[in-house]
Structure 1
Amino acid sequence: MLRQSRQVDGGKRAPDFVLPDTEGRIRTCAEFDVSPALLVAFICNHCPFVLHIADAFAAFARDYADRGLQVVAISSNDTAEFPEDGFEHMGPFAARYGFTFPYLYDGDQAVALAYGAICTPDFFLYGPDRTLAYAGQFDASRPKINRPPLPGVPLRTDLPVTGEDMRAAVDAVLAGRPVPEPQRPSAGCSIKWKEGKDPSWA
């Protein structure tokens, strides 16, 4: 099922997390406090919207690493429907696309709930004080899929993946400026919630 990201109120502080990465090391939000900007991206291994941007997203993270952006990706999907999203497949997925940032596993989905994530990909960009500055799309490009589009949201399959919206937001945060408006929502597959976890806003 397709979903759009929610327009979360700006200024909200980044919820903490304590999650394993693909090598089993426990990573926390606090360990990245030295970085002037933090981007938390909810993704998964199978989603065509994630696959559509994966190469460009990895390149974007490399481009901005030396400028002070810390990227953290999190997979929160229930694997009952999509076993390929399981923890054991995350390391190979990260290696395939050249991730240079942590890819974490949110097995009980508590972190996705805390952030208010709704789709993959879903992005949350925080400034040096770790308050939310941007919660929108990577760019306007979308993959070709055999599903009806979201109401009022055209799937721009004719556009290249550039990451222009995210790059503009990160540039602004690193320069201490407000991010460009409007913040256009991301679109993608719905997060696959475990029974009893499905939030009312999903």
Structure 2
Amino acid sequence: MLLDTPVCNFGWKAPDFTLSDPHGIPFTLSDHLGSKGLLVIFICNHCPYVKRIAHRLAADTRQLMKEGINVVAVMSNDYRDYPEDAPQKMVEFARKHDFPFLYLVDENQAVGKAFDAICTPDFFGFNARGELQYRGRLDNAKMGDDTDRTPELLNAMRMIAQTGNGPQQQHPSMGCSIKWHT
């Protein structure tokens, strides 16, 4: 089911959380909030929207990280019902797409719910004070059309790093619904 994310709730502060990577090593959100901000991305392995942008996501986040902006990804899907999203498959997916960022397991889905994550991908850009300044899409390309790609996420995160504020005009991300445990 294709869903769009809501508009950015400027200034919203994400609750701190600790999640583990697929190997069980814990990471805490507050430890990754850098002086130039933090990008939190909700993704999963089986979503065709995530698969479609995976190479661009890796390249754009690598560039942001070189510029001092921290990046973490969270997988909130119920992987018991969607085994392609299981932790071992996360390792394989991240390796295949050469992800430079942490890819964390939201085992009980509490982080996805706290963020009100809607779909995969869902992007949350925070400034150095931990205030939400971006909730939009990776770029303006339509599914299947990479000819005219404006890097909305890249530009927004650079603006946040420089000014502490995100762009006032943002386009919602769209993708597959997060698969909640029932």
Instruction: Pick which of 77-86 and 66-75 moved more.
Output: 77-86
- The offset of 1:94, in angstroms, is 0.6
Name the SS for the 1:6 alignment partner. coil
Q: Point out where structure 2 has 5 or more consecutive residues left out of the alignment.
A: none
Q: Point out where structure 1 has 5 or more consecutive residues left out of the alignment.
A: 144-156, 196-202
Whether 2:172 is the aligned partner of 1:185: answer yes
- The offset of 1:181, in angstroms, is 3.1
User: Within 5 Å, which residues of 2 pair with 1:102-113?
Assistant: 102-113=102-113
Other-structure match for 1:128: 128
User: Within 5 Å, which residues of 2 pair with 1:36-55?
Assistant: 36-55=36-55
Instruction: Pick which of 76-85 and 37-46 moved more.
Output: 76-85
Deviations 1:73-126 (A, max 9, x none): 000001243210111211111111111110000011000000110000000000
Structure 1 64/8 Cα, relative in aligned 2: closer, same or farther at 3 Å? closer
User: Within 5 Å, which residues of 2 pair with 1:71-82?
Assistant: 71-82=71-82
- Identity over aligned pairs, percent: 41
Q: Scaled by the length of structure 1, what TM-score is found? A: 0.85
Other-structure match for 1:89: 89
Instruction: Pick which of 8-17 and 111-120 moved more.
Output: 8-17
Other-structure match for 2:70: 70
Task: Measure the CA separation in 1 of the matches of 2:23 and 2:35.
Answer: 22
Q: Scaled by the length of structure 2, what TM-score is found? A: 0.94
Task: Measure the CA separation in 1 of the matches of 2:68 and 2:171.
Answer: 24
Structure 1 171/75 Cα, relative in aligned 2: closer, same or farther at 3 Å? same
CA RMSD, 1 decimal = 1.6
